[in-house]
Amino acid sequence: MSRIAAAALVLAALASAFQAQADQPAGLLHAWASAHVTGGADRAARLYTSNARVWSVAAPREWVGHADIGHYLSVFPLGPSRPEFRIDEYGLQTVGEGVVVATGRYTVVREQWAGGTVEEPCRFSLTLVQDETGAWRIVEQHSSALPR
């Protein structure tokens, strides 16, 4: 099998895994975390609703909609390589039919341009909504650095 065919199979499997994960709130949360590592910004942006809003710990402004969020995710690494992104703890709370709020903590481990790595502990809240197909999507995201 050629490298191109193997890469296409891997990408197809990732796309399928993203969709399968988005079928449940906890799965969507893990797909969201994976999206920061895989670098598939356009695919990751589809985890959000078309009018989603993102306040990120890594940017001074709000990102709104698929194109804007996709751009943010494409520049997210802020270092020479894709970061490690791990969810340390989270909770899910149903607040209405088809609406779930996820809150918790995550850690980004990224390589620095000058060498070495840095761990950045953060907290987050995500509002998840179920769309007309039954899939879960992110409509609001807020992340902030965890106080030291």
pLDDT at 76: 66
Contact indicator for 48, 138 with CB cutoff of 8 Å: yes
Question: How many CA atoms, within 13 angstroms, populate the side-chain half-sphere of residue 41?
Answer: 14
pLDDT at 19: 45
- pLDDT block averages, 10 residues each, the chain of length 148: 40 42 83 78 87 89 91 74 87 96 93 88 96 94 90
> Residue 96 is which amino acid?
G
- The pTM for the full model equals 0.79
Q: Which domains does the chain have, with CATH numbers?
A: 3-145 (3.10.450.50)
Q: Look up residue 36 and give its two tokens.
A: 């920061």
Radius of gyration over every alpha carbon of the chain, rounded to an integer in angstroms: 15
pLDDT at 83: 80
